Amino acid sequence: MPLIALVIAALAVGFEALVQWKWGAMGIVAFVALTVGIKAKNVAIGGIGAVILVMLLAQSG
């Protein structure tokens, strides 16, 4: 069980580093807002995070 938790934590840190490298600090803010919104079942915060991520994805393309 601790091995699974360690692997999941490593994947999360790796994904966070990828987001920050690709989209900077605003990408991290958007990812955190989306995650908090989903966990708290708050549509407004999750929606704001999703919209920011979509805007960043559209800008980089």
Digit-coded pLDDT (tens) for 2-60: 888 888 888 888 888 887 788 888 888 988 898 899 999 999 999 999 999 889 888 86
| Amino acid in the structure at residue 24 | G
Residue 61: pLDDT band (50, 70, 90) is low
Per-residue HEC secondary structure of 20-47 comes to HHHHHHHHHHHHHHHHHHHHHCCHHHHH
What are the backbone dihedrals phi and psi of residue 42, each rounded to the nearest 5 degrees, phi first?
Answer: -105, 110
| pLDDT attached to residue 51 | 93
Q: Is the pLDDT of residue 1 over 80?
A: no
| pLDDT attached to residue 12 | 84
Is the entire prediction scored with pTM above 0.85?
A: no
Helix-then-strand count for the chain, H and E: 2, 0
Q: What are the residue ranges spanned by the domains of the chain?
A: 2-60
